Chains A and B, each alone.
Chain A
Amino acid sequence: MSEVALLQVIGLGVIGLGVAILLFIQARFVRVVGFVMIVLGLFSMTALGVPQMASLPPAEEKFDVANIKTASDMAAIGQKIFFSKGQCALCHSIGPSESARCPDLKGIGSKLTREFIYESLTQPQAYVYQDYRHEGLPKEYPARMPYINKNPIGLSNNEILSVIAFLQQMSGEPITVSPSEVTQPAQTVAAIPVAHAQ
């Protein structure tokens, strides 16, 4: 028996019991309980009568070092991180957005060097670029860039590299992060990547 059918049987049972109570029992409070049972049973039956749709979670992406073969693998992972764990999309948009709380990142990979992006992610207040693309004072954004490599977001170095790869790919630039830079889990995550630039 399917889950829906089972629940329908239970629902009918509850309604039936409620009706039986109303028919045969005189105690006031019990009658009210029976009445409530009928109401709840009817509600459940109605809900079982509409289209049943569960919402399944999409498959989970794992950052698996072993699977990274090419730079575009990294970019693909970076894209996932951008829209989930990295929380970038909470504020940033790619392309002009109506509800952006932070600068638009479209084409950022070609505007900024890899080192600059890395620095922006790990030391966001080191150099604040102001948006002069319009008249008047530079645009102020409501949110302040957090440290991406620290809690609560706390991306690992590998993950930050992947996000940079994604940003470059999205801007139509060659990806300058290479899979060989990804640290294997055994190694300690120390300072490395910024050192060797393009």
Chain B
Amino acid sequence: MLNHGEHPRRIASTGRGQGSLLAGLLVFLALAGAPLLGLAQDAPGQTAGVAYRDIPAVGSRNIVWVIAQLHLLLAGFVLGVPIFAWICEIVGWKTGEKRYDKLAKEFTKLLTSSYATTALFGGILLFMLIGFYPKLMAYLGDIFFPSFVVYCILFLLETATLYLYWYGWDAMQEGSKKTLHLFLGFLLNVFAFFIMIVPNSWATFQASPVVIAEGSDLARAWAATWNPTWWPVNIHRLIANVVLGGYICGAYAGIRYLSAKTAEEREHYDWMGYVGNFIGVFGLLPLPFAGYWLMREIYQYNQQMGITLMGGFLSWLFILQAMLIGVLFLGSNYYFWMGITHRIPGSEVKYRRPIMAMLVILLLCLGVWMTPHSLVASLEEARKMGGTHHPLLGVFGVMSAKMTVANLMILVTFMSFIMYWRAGKEETAGWAKVAKSIMGGVLGVAAIVVIVLGVWGYFVPAIVRINYFSVAQVLIVLFVMLTITPLTALLLRSAKTTTEMVWGRMPPRAGYALVLNAVMVILLMTLMGYARSSSRVHWHIYGVMRDSSQYAYSPALGYAAALMSLNTFLFCMLVAFIFWVATMGEKAKAGGGGGKG
């Protein structure tokens, strides 16, 4: 499965952002190739030609797995960074703080080189797919030909916009020119979004195909594009890309911070790490909701696939996912908390207690989340429990509990952020007391309601829980964020700063925490990519085209995890290389400087 699993991803990846002439050329070749293959298939039945090709020893699946994953991660990065850069640019423009603009520009510079690398991998991937899976590619090419064309056009537009955006940065600094530049950034993101969703349609079609009736090429491609999981995947990936961009920025800052030589550098990269972590967390908070929606659509599309994922052979994968997300939440909060204790002198004693409370809640939630429904138990232990479900803790194993703790963890992380925001400031407004008790009340009530709904969820039909309770939990958490954030902003407008934040005093482990978070996000993406692919089990296109190659099985988690780790490592090295190349010039100018990120 994996293997078929892979393709979707590969294909998806093909789609995602590339740039540069090279990429365009590759895509063009591929496009030219696809219809040819399609024609070949239409030629009189029986002599269909090869369905698969393989490379001995390594295996076609493993190669495609690695290349597709690298392409997808790079693509996620290339799509996430413009969002990230654009937001930073706006903040810089609105607040007049030049360092945001500088940060945005620094990252856009990375964009140009990573864009080309992404395209390079996309091209390699495409050749491999055509080489390894001619039958599948012919089938997809036949259906999706019109969207290939759209994709190419988008590509040209994206590339042109990117060049304008990057090379015009300094020229368009002032007045209405700046507005134009911001608009270019907006356009860049719009094109990038479409560049992402077009290939998503190819991949989601593989997972949730719809029947294609006769019709014009365009009508058929359109019908196939609007498959049930298309939009959930689009939204999920969009948010995940922001998270990826943010955390990678954080990790970059972390490494630069570790090797910084001057106080000025330390300050700058400490601050950059903070911004990266903040944007990462910002994206992370709504991500579980998007994931939940996707899962729901999958279940509704096909119960079989839903069960394979959640209760079937992939169920352990979600325990690993819980672990990674748990580390990510802990890591992000840890960074926030360290920010409070180190950047705001004298705050340690004051915040010790609330931090401890948050930590305990996070760990309790994590404990619930990571408790599997069917436990690993020896025969003896299982006999005592009467099966692999524990009579008491078994209740933690189901969705109701997991949804509840996920929402609570989001609430806690949000509070960490608010606490960080308010640290070192003293509210002067007359209504500060009232506002603070309202916020406390909202938060307390929200937490209680989320828990009550979670417990109650065991006693109502599944559909009520899914349609009303879970949705209500999500809405409550969103409501909390949407009320407390503006309230805090208002409160702090009149607040006086009692203790100035001091940048550049974080200990080295803060840098490592940032790196850890980035690694977790990348691992999560590789893990869930495997889940998405494997959920199709032995189908290239679920229920339509069977995988009849020798790689039709899905490998076990251990083997898959080894490949995921390899992919993560290779991706980190690639990104490090890109960053290093991109900052070489800057270093030459500055004369010296430490390691690279």
Give A residues with C-beta under 8 Å from B: 3-4, 7, 10-11, 14, 27-32, 35-37, 39-41, 43-44, 46-48, 50-58, 60, 83-85, 87, 89-91, 99, 124, 143-147, 150-152, 156, 185
Find the residue from B143, B543, B558 having the highest chain A CB count within 10 A.
B558
- Contact across chains for B537 and A87 when beta carbons are under 8 A apart: no
Near A by CB (< 8 A), chain B positions 426-440 give: none
- Contact across chains for A40 and B1 when beta carbons are under 8 A apart: no
- Contact across chains for B543 and A46 when beta carbons are under 8 A apart: no
Near A by CB (< 8 A), chain B positions 107-157 give: 139, 142-143
Measured CB to CB, the closest approach of chain A to B129, in angstroms, equals 18
- Contact across chains for A51 and B376 when beta carbons are under 8 A apart: yes
29 A-B residue pairs with Cβ-Cβ distance under 8 Å, sorted by A, are: A3-B558, A11-B562, A28-B258, A29-B596, A30-B595, A36-B515, A36-B569, A39-B516, A43-B320, A43-B324, A46-B320, A46-B561, A47-B557, A47-B562, A48-B561, A50-B557, A51-B316, A52-B556, A52-B559, A53-B557, A55-B538, A56-B553, A57-B552, A85-B544, A85-B546, A146-B212, A151-B142, A152-B139, A152-B142
A144 to B313: give the CA distance in the assembly, Å.
34
The contact string, 1 if C-beta is below 8 Å from chain A, for chain B 198-218, is 000000000001111110000
- Contact across chains for B543 and A83 when beta carbons are under 8 A apart: yes
A29 to B256: give the CA distance in the assembly, Å.
9
- Contact across chains for A32 and B512 when beta carbons are under 8 A apart: yes
A56 to B1: give the CA distance in the assembly, Å.
8
* B595 surroundings in chain A (CB, below 8 A): 27-30, 32
- Contact across chains for B565 and A41 when beta carbons are under 8 A apart: yes
* B60 surroundings in chain A (CB, below 8 A): none
The contact string, 1 if C-beta is below 8 Å from chain A, for chain B 547-563, is 11000111111111110
**Contact flag A32-B323 (CB < 8 Å), given A47-B558, A48-B558:** no
- Contact across chains for A53 and B316 when beta carbons are under 8 A apart: yes
* B538 surroundings in chain A (CB, below 8 A): 55, 57-58
A12 to B556: give the CA distance in the assembly, Å.
19
* B515 surroundings in chain A (CB, below 8 A): 32, 35-36
- Contact across chains for B258 and A50 when beta carbons are under 8 A apart: no
- Contact across chains for A52 and B142 when beta carbons are under 8 A apart: no
The contact string, 1 if C-beta is below 8 Å from chain A, for chain B 318-341, is 011001100000000000000000
Is the C-beta of B64 less than 8 angstroms from some C-beta in chain A? no
A48 to B561: give the CA distance in the assembly, Å.
8
A50 to B142: give the CA distance in the assembly, Å.
41
* B565 surroundings in chain A (CB, below 8 A): 14, 40-41, 43-44
**Contact flag A32-B211 (CB < 8 Å), given A37-B569, A39-B516, A57-B538:** no
Measured CB to CB, the closest approach of chain B to A75, in angstroms, equals 20
**Contact flag A60-B561 (CB < 8 Å), given A37-B569, A55-B537:** no
- Contact across chains for A28 and B300 when beta carbons are under 8 A apart: no
* B209 surroundings in chain A (CB, below 8 A): 87, 90
Majority secondary structure of chain B interface residues (helix, strand, loop or mixed): helix
* A40 surroundings in chain B (CB, below 8 A): 519, 523, 565, 568-569
Is the C-beta of B488 less than 8 angstroms from some C-beta in chain A? no
Residue of B nearest to A55 (CB): B554
Is the C-beta of B161 less than 8 angstroms from some C-beta in chain A? no
Which residue in A14, A35, A54, A185 is a CB contact (below 8 Å) of B512?
Answer: A35
- Contact across chains for A46 and B323 when beta carbons are under 8 A apart: yes
A47 to B596: give the CA distance in the assembly, Å.
31
Residue of A nearest to B41 (CB): A151
Measured CB to CB, the closest approach of chain A to B559, in angstroms, equals 7
Residue of B nearest to A8 (CB): B558
Measured CB to CB, the closest approach of chain B to A37, in angstroms, equals 7
* B142 surroundings in chain A (CB, below 8 A): 151-152
* B214 surroundings in chain A (CB, below 8 A): 146-147, 150
Which residue in A27, A46, A53, A60 is a CB contact (below 8 Å) of B556?
Answer: A53
Measured CB to CB, the closest approach of chain B to A38, in angstroms, equals 10
Measured CB to CB, the closest approach of chain B to A169, in angstroms, equals 21
- Contact across chains for B544 and A87 when beta carbons are under 8 A apart: yes
Is the C-beta of B168 less than 8 angstroms from some C-beta in chain A? no
The contact string, 1 if C-beta is below 8 Å from chain A, for chain B 584-597, is 00000000001111
A90 to B597: give the CA distance in the assembly, Å.
49
- Contact across chains for A36 and B555 when beta carbons are under 8 A apart: no
* B143 surroundings in chain A (CB, below 8 A): 152
* B300 surroundings in chain A (CB, below 8 A): 99
Which residue in B552, B561, B569, B572 is a CB contact (below 8 Å) of A47?
Answer: B561
- Contact across chains for B259 and A28 when beta carbons are under 8 A apart: yes
- Contact across chains for A144 and B554 when beta carbons are under 8 A apart: no
